[in-house]
A = this chain, B = another copy of it.
Amino acid sequence: MALALAIHGGAGTIHRSQMTPALEAEYRNGLETALNTGYAILESGGTSLDAVEAAVCSLEDFPLFNAGRGSVFTHEGKQEMDAGIMDGHKLAAGAVAFVKNIRNPISLARKVMEQTEHVLLAGEGANQFADQIGMKTETDEYFFTEHRWLQLQEALAAGRIQLDHAKPIGTVGAVACDKNGHLAAATSTGGMTNKKYGRVGDTPLVGLGNYADESVAVSCTGHGEYFMLGVTAYDVAARIKYKGLSLEESARETIDHLTEINGEGGLIAVDINGNVALPFNSEGMYRGYRTSNSPAITEIFS
């Protein structure tokens, strides 16, 4: 079977004008590290589930992306994180919403999948579960980054809820196909700067921001509310299953539909033949992929 891994570090209005060569190199380094980490697992015969978890952990640990360390701040100056993971072969899923101080929310999502009868745990309850099973936590200082804090101050001054700073829209994700042709998807986010009222976006929700089954795995990034209304991640699967489209065609049609309903962002998808698709309708999307037929490639703009 063909191996394949695709990752993203968020999509949105990434202006070339705001990107310096040094900053671009830093972003590419973050993407390459995650890609190499995940692909090494696939190459050594590991599962797609292990590969997407490891790739997303790497992206969560990297402070420039809006997930894990470096997450944006809520209106109250807190960092609340959402994450979802799905095992396509077993059609199993786990997710957490607005958890705090968990070093790797994606790993907590996997524990929800493997150690509970539930799919989605939220808030204090999810943190209680994390405590019980001994998940690794970090202090507020670990998650703090000055640029995110300044973004909150700007947003508070302007009275805006921001997806991510003028943007990129902040999410990270990974999809993979392993040697057995089994697929998995993982997606993680720090949410929206200055968000209030316990808003939950598409990231942790099955079929909305994250989805995997026996034929396709999808991870989304963008303005979450539109990905929810479009049932975006599952829509890619449905167009393949019910319309008979290829991965490429299906992913493109789904993003076209997102454009029609005024949603902005992108997605990454992989199928059992090791094909990858990375369409987006925003100015850029931090992304990368590597397959049996392609070396590691990272890109930011279209």
Contacts and interface: CB of A to CB of B under 8 A. Distances in A.
A126 B198 contact: yes
Contacts of A119: 224-225, 228-229
B242 A120 contact: no
A228 B208 contact: no
> How many copies of this kind of chain does the complex include?
2
Contacts of A198: 121-126, 128
Given A91-B229, A206-B229, A231-B206, A118 B242 contact: no
A211 interface: yes
A12 interface: no
Given A207-B234, A238-B235, A200 B116 contact: no
Interface in A22-38: none
Q: Which of A125, A198, A208 has the most CB of B within 10 A?
A: A198
Interface in A82-141: 91-93, 97-98, 116-126, 128-129
A84 to B, nearest CB: 10
Contact of A228 (B120, B200, B224, B225): B120
A279 B232 CA distance: 26
Contacts of A207: 207-208, 228, 231, 234
A93 B228 contact: yes
A4 to B, nearest CB: 23
A199 B120 CA distance: 6
A239 to B, nearest CB: 6
A120 B161 contact: no
Contacts of A196: 125, 128-129
Nearest to A225: B119
A91 B200 CA distance: 18
A239 B122 CA distance: 31
B93 A122 contact: no
A211 B230 CA distance: 10
Given A97-B122, A123-B123, A198-B124, A231 B211 contact: yes
22 contacts: A92-B229, A98-B123, A116-B197, A117-B161, A121-B197, A122-B198, A122-B200, A123-B198, A125-B197, A126-B197, A128-B196, A128-B198, A205-B205, A205-B206, A206-B228, A206-B229, A207-B231, A207-B234, A234-B235, A238-B238, A238-B242, A241-B242
Q: Return the 8 tightest CB-CB contacts between A and B, nearest first.
A: A125-B198, A242-B242, A207-B231, A238-B238, A125-B197, A122-B198, A231-B234, A242-B243
Given A98-B123, A206-B208, A239-B242, 10 more contacts: A116-B197, A119-B229, A122-B122, A128-B196, A205-B206, A206-B228, A207-B228, A207-B234, A234-B235, A235-B238
